[in-house]
Amino acid sequence: MKKTSSIVILVVFLSTLKAHSQSNLLNAKIPQEVGVQNDAQLAENSNPIAYGYVDDRDVLWSKTVWEIIDLDERINFPYYYPTVNNGMLSSDRKSLFRILMDEIEAGNITEIYSTSYFNEKLTKEDLKERLELRSLSPEGITKSNAGEEVSENDYDIYKIESDKVVQYRIKGTWYFNKRLGELKYRLLGIAPVAPDVSTLSQGPEAMQDALVPLFWVWFPDARKALNMNKVFNTKNSSQPVTYDHMLNSRRFNAVIYKEENVYEDREVKDYIYEDALRQLLESERIKSLIRDFEQDMWNN
Segment 222-247 mean pLDDT:
88
Segment 97-111 mean pLDDT:
94
Answer yes or no: is pLDDT of 2 > 50.
Answer: no
What's the pLDDT band for 216 if we cut at 50, 70, 90?
A: very high
What's the pLDDT band for 137 if we cut at 50, 70, 90?
A: confident
pLDDT of residue 31: 75
Segment 183-204 mean pLDDT:
89
- Say if residues 242 and 217 touch (Cβ distance below 8 Å): no
- Report the candidate in 94, 29, 31 with the shortest Cα–Cα distance to residue 228: 94
Instruction: Dump pLDDT digits (tens) for 19-37.
Output: 344 666 667 767 766 767 6
Is the pTM above the cut of 0.75?
yes
Helices 96-105 + 219-227 axis angle, to 10: 100
Residue, of 12 and 146, whose pLDDT is higher = 146
Residue, of 8 and 259, whose pLDDT is higher = 259
**Cα dihedral value 114, 228, 237, 94, nearest 10:** -40
Residue, of 259 and 198, whose pLDDT is higher = 259
pLDDT of residue 5: 45
